[in-house]
Amino acid sequence: MSGESNGKLTEAATVKKMELIPEIKFTKLFINGQFVDSVSGKTFETIDPRTGDVITKVAQGIKEDIDLAVQAARDAFDDGPWPRLSGANVQLYNVYADDQQRRRILMKLADLIDANAEELAALDAIDGGKLFHDGKNIDIPGAAETFRYYAGVADKIHGETLKMSREFQAYTLREPIGVVGHIIPWNFPTQMFAMKVGPALAAGCTMIVKPAEQTPLSALYCAHLTKLAGIPDGAVNVVTGYGPVAGAAISSHMDIDKVSFTGSTEVGRLVMQAAAMSNLKQVSLELGGKSPVIIFDDAELDKAVDLALLGSLYNKAKICVAGSRVFVQEGIYVEFVKKLEEKVRLWVVGDPFDVDSQQGPQVEKKQFEKILSYIEHGKREGATLLAGGKRFGQKGFYIQPTIFTDVKDDMIIAKEEIFGPVMSVLKFKTTGEVIRRANATKYGLAAGVITNNLDTANTVSRSIRAGVIWINCYFAFDRDSPYGGYKMSGFGRDMGIDGLDKYLHAKSVATPIYNSPWL
């Protein structure tokens, strides 16, 4: 890979980085607190996207394994301690010692994640091509903080006193929804685990996690940490395997109460269909996006270019909220494109363990080829290729950061989610026009607005039909900030208190007031 114009990888760096590659400790299914082989004894290969080589073989869960995991989670929910620890309103007594309370255990899990940040970051780097230093310093500490955030609400889950009519007193209880199936993608493996498992555990649910087949390793490692933290057996189960088999067995299971899915819109539709055709389990879906970043004439140019690059290239654009449609107002369009061309040359693609790398490899060959075919579409459709447009290097699944300008709304690259480092730049004249064009998509996950005019920022923020709006920033995620989609980007929210609510039922309890003159 050395010798590439924008790569900085050297042989010496490669040798040093090998020391960071972790020993793979967990490759079996985690069911009822034990690591076990799959029922069939089958395994599947997980691949290092830096080279295309096999890292290891992981247990391949099928329907029978999901059945075992669901049984463990059901027993843990119906008879186990987890939903009954302090913080849940399902029992009025707490027979467990203070140190077994949910808040404390989740805090301990967070500390364990922090203590193992380097190993988890390294697993996500070799399995998913994620930048090791971002993982160690941002993603993994972020996952630990997510567990702390939900630990903090675990003992504050309560209902309301209801007004009712005068003859009754009534209140609501917030109760855990039951057994949850989490089906998660490969783009943020450890963070996604925390984002789903944290609130569901805080609510008192028990669960089965099905990590993406491309990135099973960190979820299995986290399973081991849940055990060390003291989460009771059966409360968290991790079943690795293929989506159409293990994932589908979750969405169609008759004894799962909720499925929380993050992934593609196509698979989201299958999950919802399976939920409807089985036991009508609750569904929340966080799906694809084609988010606009809207840059107005009054924006500070350098900042706007940096945000556009960040929005469309961060995490090699393997992020559903990627700002892949960059609308630039006509007054600064030419200057913006010039600066973009200068700055993208400085963007460093390279091994995810290299501290200078800003972009690692795409997760797998299939995605890599799909992205390259979208790039070919862009070329054929007549957009101007400003930068990139090819694979990067000769080995692994690296792609050059690619920018198309003069993109038209009806081009495929402007309409479909590419899930790769490909930015489309589109020109606009007026605020009304850009609102209409930005909204002309089946998706509605996020949007960026870059302007110094408060009225413009407010008008656009209220007019864009998307779940998250970032004004003069991008990817401003926080544990306290819920996110999720409008339209075909899904429904239900992750993170924040909304992210907890989706794992809770509200139960109304009413009782007559016997001394009421009306009874």
CA distance 279 to 145: 34
CA distance 26 to 471: 42
What's the min distance (Å) between Cβ of 270 and ligand ADP? 4
What's the min distance (Å) between Cβ of 82 and ligand ADP? 24
Site membership for ligand ADP, residue 10 (CB under 6 A): no
What's the min distance (Å) between Cβ of 245 and ligand ADP? 8
What's the min distance (Å) between Cβ of 274 and ligand ADP? 7
Asked whether the beta carbons of 181 and 210 are under 8 A apart, the reply is yes
E strand or H helix that includes residue 226: helix 217-229
Site membership for ligand ADP, residue 494 (CB under 6 A): no
Among 122, 184, 371, 457, binds ligand ADP (CB under 6 A): 184
C-alpha dihedral sign at 131, 136, 137, 143: positive
Asked whether the beta carbons of 239 and 36 are under 8 A apart, the reply is no
- 192 phi/psi in degrees, rounded to 5: -65, -40
Site membership for ligand ADP, residue 213 (CB under 6 A): yes
Site membership for ligand ADP, residue 247 (CB under 6 A): yes
Instruction: Give the residues across from 510 on adjacent strands.
Output: 170
Contact letters for ligand ADP, residues 388-407 (x by CB under 6 A): --------------------
Judging by DSSP bridges, how do beta strands 292-295 and 325-329 pair with one another? parallel
Q: Which is nearer to ligand ADP, 247 or 388 (CB)?
A: 247
Site membership for ligand ADP, residue 263 (CB under 6 A): yes
Site membership for ligand ADP, residue 351 (CB under 6 A): no
Q: Which two tokens stand for residue 176?
A: 């855990």
* Segment lying near ligand ADP (by CB under 6 A), choices 39-47, 57-65, 265-273, 465-473: 265-273
Q: Residue 469 in 3-state DSSP?
A: strand
Q: Which is nearer to ligand ADP, 271 or 468 (CB)?
A: 271
Site membership for ligand ADP, residue 305 (CB under 6 A): no
Among 10, 94, 172, 264, binds ligand ADP (CB under 6 A): 264
* Segment lying near ligand ADP (by CB under 6 A), choices 65-73, 178-186, 425-433, 490-498: 178-186
Q: Which two tokens stand for residue 354?
A: 């290299």
Amino acid at 365: K
Question: Can you list the alpha helix ranges (DSSP code H) found in 411-476?
Answer: 412-415, 431-439, 454-463
Q: Which is nearer to ligand ADP, 232 or 243 (CB)?
A: 243
Q: Residue 236 in 3-state DSSP?
A: strand
Site membership for ligand ADP, residue 286 (CB under 6 A): no
Of 506, 498, 441, 463, the C-alpha closest to 150 is: 498
Number of residues that bind ligand ADP (CB under 6 A): 16
Site membership for ligand ADP, residue 128 (CB under 6 A): no
Among 271, 426, 460, 468, binds ligand ADP (CB under 6 A): 271
What's the min distance (Å) between Cβ of 444 and ligand ADP? 18
What's the min distance (Å) between Cβ of 241 and ligand ADP? 8
CA distance 315 to 128: 10
The DSSP secondary structure of 486-502, one letter per residue, reads SGGGEES-BSHHHHHHT
Site membership for ligand ADP, residue 321 (CB under 6 A): no
Residue nearest to ligand ADP (CB): 243
Site membership for ligand ADP, residue 248 (CB under 6 A): yes
Site membership for ligand ADP, residue 185 (CB under 6 A): yes
Site membership for ligand ADP, residue 216 (CB under 6 A): no
What's the min distance (Å) between Cβ of 242 and ligand ADP? 6
What's the min distance (Å) between Cβ of 70 and ligand ADP? 15
Site membership for ligand ADP, residue 210 (CB under 6 A): yes
Q: Which two tokens stand for residue 225?
A: 């940490």
Distance from chain centroid for Cα 504? 21
> Which region holds residue 369: left if phi is over 0, alpha if psi is between -120 and 50, else beta?
alpha
Site membership for ligand ADP, residue 253 (CB under 6 A): no
Q: Which is nearer to ligand ADP, 198 or 263 (CB)?
A: 263
What's the min distance (Å) between Cβ of 183 and ligand ADP? 5
Q: Which two tokens stand for residue 135?
A: 């993982």
* Segment lying near ligand ADP (by CB under 6 A), choices 108-116, 159-167, 264-272, 407-415: 264-272
Number of Cβ within 10 Å of residue 192's Cβ equals 26
Q: Residue 480 in 3-state DSSP?
A: coil
What's the min distance (Å) between Cβ of 422 and ligand ADP? 15
Q: Which residues are catalytic?
A: 286, 320
Among 267, 375, 426, 460, binds ligand ADP (CB under 6 A): 267
Site membership for ligand ADP, residue 244 (CB under 6 A): yes
- 59 phi/psi in degrees, rounded to 5: -55, 135
CA distance 434 to 394: 40
CA distance 446 to 206: 30
The DSSP secondary structure of 212-265, one letter per residue, reads -TT--HHHHHHHHHHHHHTPPTTTEEE----IIIIIHHHHT-TT-SEEEEES-H
* Segment lying near ligand ADP (by CB under 6 A), choices 137-145, 267-275, 293-301, 371-379: 267-275
Gyration radius from the chain CA atoms: 24
Asked whether the beta carbons of 259 and 250 are under 8 A apart, the reply is yes
Asked whether the beta carbons of 199 and 503 are under 8 A apart, the reply is yes
Q: Which is nearer to ligand ADP, 193 or 336 (CB)?
A: 193
Residues lying near ligand ADP in the complex (CB under 6 A) are found at 183-185, 210, 212-213, 243-244, 247-248, 251, 263-264, 267, 270-271
